[in-house]
Amino acid sequence: MGPQCPNYRHLSLTLALLKPDITKMPYSLQHVRQMIIEKGFVIVKSNIISKMSRCKAEAFYEEHSSRFFYNRLVTYMSSGSVHAHILALPCNSVDDSNAITTWRKLMGPTKVMKTRYSEPDTIRGTFGLSDTRNCSHGSDSLETAKREIEFFFPDFDPIGFSGSLEEKELLRKHRDNLLTINQCKFVHS
Ligand code: ATP
Ligand code: MG
């Protein structure tokens, strides 16, 4: 093991959602999944929701309930399949937010029409359809990530995961290039 392959101690986590515009396009979905893998993310958990209820979409985007696009947003989010993923990147501190910032950078800015020109290689820049139908969601802080992970993965305990055997095993496999992917569920083991 060389200096470029350090022994990381933790996995920094974020919540990623793939929204209905991308999940219904198999070729684009495969491409986005490939972008996630190529960034070096470990996919810790996945929850493929065949149709999100309107009630759940409203609760998830509650912070935007007074915005002009709220009704459009929740109608869209409950119109089809949503794929929820806990994405992770190796790190050395429990307060590291590298997974959050790296995923948001890979997604690109919210407004697709602008992003197509300013950041064409991002997920939104490549596949986004409109400012609402913009492919993906990513947590924007450690606090939000914790809350959003709990929202989609109520059985997952981020505190308990930190330092657990499961985390150690994923870190070891990531370091030794031994991670395997279940393509159907899109999750690493
Ligand atoms: P997300 O929270 O989904 O990761 P974001 O943090 O980039 O996206 P937010 O400002 O939190 O953007 O908005 C949440 C979602 O609401 C956006 O991803 C988009 O789908 C929708 N949205 C935001 N702004 C607009 C807008 N001006 N017009 C239409 N839809 C919008
Ligand atoms: Mg947001």
For the entire predicted model, the pTM comes to 0.96
Spatial CA neighbour of 148 closest among 106, 86, 95: 86
- Cα 188 → chain centroid: 14
How remote is the CA of residue 15 from the centroid of ligand 1, in Å?
15
End-to-end Cα, the chain, rounded Å: 22
Average pLDDT of every residue of the chain: 96
Closest Cα to atom 20 of ligand 1: 132
C-alpha 121/C-alpha 38 separation (Å) is: 13
pLDDT in tens, 128-160: 999 999 999 999 999 999 999 999 999 999 999
Closest Cα to atom 1 of ligand 1: 137
Beta bridge partners of 181: 188
Spatial CA neighbour of 83 closest among 23, 42, 128: 23
How remote is the CA of residue 46 from the centroid of ligand 2, in Å?
20
Spatial CA neighbour of 119 closest among 63, 35, 45: 35
User: For position 5, what pLDDT does the model report?
Assistant: 62
pLDDT in tens, 149-188: 999 999 999 999 999 999 999 999 999 999 999 999 999 9
pLDDT in tens, 69-91: 999 999 999 999 999 999 999 99
Q: To test ligand 1's pocket by mutation, which of 68, 69, 140 has the most ligand atoms within 8 angstroms of CB?
A: 69
